[in-house]
Amino acid sequence: MLRKLVIAFLLTLLLLPAVGYAQEKNATIVSYDKDSRMVELKGKDWEQKAKVSSSVAGEKADLLKPGTKVKVELDDRGGGDVRVKGLNAR
């Protein structure tokens, strides 16, 4: 019984960080640099710069304008490398 609890606890600890890496947040586009595909986002109490994938930049080009309110899914790869996984209008 105790062994099963310890195993369940260890699995929970292993899976917990994976849940935190991809986050969906409400944001407003502050700026977007088409050449480097870097977008600056501002939320209620946060700001973030992130790299937009070429597929998202092509599909959602109409949303990448300053002042656009979006729902963005960010992927924090560690070391300050943050990528936009998904972008939708709010």
- Range list of H helices, the chain: 2-21, 54-59
> What distance in Å separates the CA atoms of residue 70 and residue 63, rounded to the nearest whole number?
7
Confidence (pLDDT) at 18 = 53
Domain that holds residue 85: 21-89
Q: What is the pLDDT along the chain (90 residues), one digit of tens a residue?
A: 888 888 888 877 776 655 445 678 899 999 999 999 999 999 999 999 999 988 888 898 899 999 999 999 988 888 888 888 889 998
Confidence (pLDDT) at 32 = 94
Residue 8 lies in a domain: no
> Per the confidence metrics, is the pTM higher than 0.75?
no
CATH number for the domain harbouring residue 54: 2.40.50.140
